[in-house]
């Protein structure tokens, strides 16, 4: 399955190849203050392939907070955060916002709340891998 997503204005877009086609897509509703304020609900697929496109890099803000182990790509034009990246051991990992999906039946999304607030940095990095 090829999942397409983008911010509201289309400046930040992504394509996520999810193979084989998922019976459900885990959707983690993070309870950190940033995600609460933005409605952050994230997914990833360790066996998938993600391609991110930036139409105008000058209209992309990068935001990191807390442990600064993740970088939120914020569209400076429309304010949407469709992708979060994390560089670990010289490799780039990412999660995408299910709220930015363009072509996915919402019945596939298995939403569940998660809390990473008390998670130690080393455990956090291992999980992101």
Please report, to the nearest 10 degrees, the dihedral formed by the alpha carbons of residues 35, 109, 26, 98 taken in order. -40
Tens-place pLDDT, residues 100-112: 999 999 999 999 9
- Ordered DSSP codes for 34-97: HHHHHT-EEE--TT-EEEEEES-GGGEEEE--TT---EEEEETTT----EEEEEETTEEEEEEE
Tens-place pLDDT, residues 33-70: 888 898 999 999 989 999 999 999 999 999 998 778 88
What percent of the chain is modeled with pLDDT above 90? 71
pTM of the model: 0.87
CB atoms within 10 A of CB 90: 5
CB 30 within 8 A of CB 42: yes
Residue with tokens 């998922």: 22
């Amino acid at each position: 399955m090829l999942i397409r997503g983008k911010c509201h204005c289309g400046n930040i877009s992504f394509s996520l190849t999810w193979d084989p086609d998922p019976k459900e897509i885990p959707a983690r509703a993070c309870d950190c203050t940033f995600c609460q304020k933005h409605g952050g609900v994230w997914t990833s697929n360790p066996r998938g392939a993600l391609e991110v496109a930036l139409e105008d890099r000058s209209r992309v803000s990068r935001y990191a907070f807390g442990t600064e182990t993740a970088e939120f790509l914020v569209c400076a034009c429309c304010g949407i955060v469709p992708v979060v990246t994390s560089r670990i051991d010289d490799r780039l990992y990412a999660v995408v916002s299910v709220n930015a999906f363009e072509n996915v039946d919402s019945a596939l999304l298995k939403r569940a709340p998660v809390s990473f607030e008390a998670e130690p940095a080393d455990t956090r990095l291992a999980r992101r891998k």
